[in-house]
Amino acid sequence: MIHASNTNGHVPPLGTLTPGARAAFARLGTRRTFAAGDVLINEGDHAHELLVIHEGMVKVTARLDGDRASLLDIKIAGDVVGEIATIDHGPRSATVTACGDVVATVVPRHELWPFLHSDPEALALLMKVFCSRLRRSDRWRLEFAGYPVLVRLARVLVELAMSYGRREWNAVRIDVNLSQSEFAALTGSTTHTVHKMLAQLRRDGLINTGERQTYVRDLPRLCQVARLSMPAF
């Protein structure tokens, strides 16, 4: 999921498989390339493929109220998307869009499930990914109800820094270009409020922003604002 130089050394989900299982999984599906703006998965569609992101970054969005699309998550190399529809046969719950050039393998359900049934380790991994998504969604819902916007924004920034960050001198550069409206979607807030909260964090010397690039200048203090313990590097 993360670059090798990421601050927390996060291991991509597929990286936890044994070499043999990983090689077998790599033989499934068809590798495809996508350009910026291409849609990999359409919300409401009844396709049941799993997608493995090899290169690039995608955004996961859903239309929660009418025509307004809300940003739910971001995924990069090593992540899988579309696993829910391969399990429950239901319609796609979100749209996945390429944020730049993306290389991904599209694994249809009729190839995926025979492989998973023949390899309990890979099946357990998919269930682990699914459970992790549910836990994260539950945690975010609790945070939206219990914390003010500044705390929620700080938590999003800490998570982005630890999951998608690169060390640069005395800062961590978040390798995900998000607009203020997208930060608002991730924090369950408004663009106006996020604008004020980002300005406050800049004044306090915790972050720098510009050209849709965010640098965390003081991760320990940002963790304090987020009411989190400092993660181990």
Which CATH number covers residue 62?
A: 2.60.120.10
**Each residue of 84-139: pLDDT tens digit?**
888 788 899 889 998 888 999 999 999 988 988 888 888 887 788 778 777 766 66
With tokens 């971001």, the residue in question is 74
Instruction: Examine the domain organization and report whether 123 and 219 are in the same domain.
Output: no
Round to whole Å and give the CA distance between 154 and 183.
11
Cα distances (Å, whole numbers) of residue 149 to 33, 60, 112, 164, 228: 37, 21, 40, 21, 15
Instruction: Examine the domain organization and report whether 215 and 174 are in the same domain.
Output: yes
Residue 87 resides in a domain = yes
Instruction: Examine the domain organization and report whether 68 and 164 are in the same domain.
Output: no
Last residue of a domain, one of 121, 144, 167: 144
Instruction: Examine the domain organization and report whether 134 and 25 are in the same domain.
Output: yes
Helical ranges in 97-148 per DSSP H? 109-118, 120-146
Give the domain range for residue 166.
147-226
Closest CA to 35 of 52, 54, 58, 69: 58
Instruction: Examine the domain organization and report whether 216 and 152 are in the same domain.
Output: yes
Instruction: Examine the domain organization and report whether 205 and 127 are in the same domain.
Output: no
Res 2: pLDDT? 29
For residue 212, name the pLDDT band (cuts at 50, 70, 90): low
Residue 208 resides in a domain = yes
Round to whole Å and give the CA distance between 161 and 134.
21
Pair 73, 60: CB distance under 8 Å: yes
Least confident of 46-50, 68-72, 93-97, 183-187: 68-72
Query: What is the pTM (predicted TM-score) of this model?
Result: 0.69
Instruction: Examine the domain organization and report whether 36 and 78 are in the same domain.
Output: yes
Residue 6 resides in a domain = no
Residue 154 has pLDDT above 90, yes or no: yes
Structure tokens belonging to residue 170: 């005395």
Instruction: Examine the domain organization and report whether 157 and 71 are in the same domain.
Output: no
Instruction: Examine the domain organization and report whether 36 and 125 are in the same domain.
Output: yes
Structure tokens belonging to residue 95: 């749209």
Instruction: Examine the domain organization and report whether 213 and 127 are in the same domain.
Output: no
For residue 151, name the pLDDT band (cuts at 50, 70, 90): very high
**Number of domains within the chain:** 2
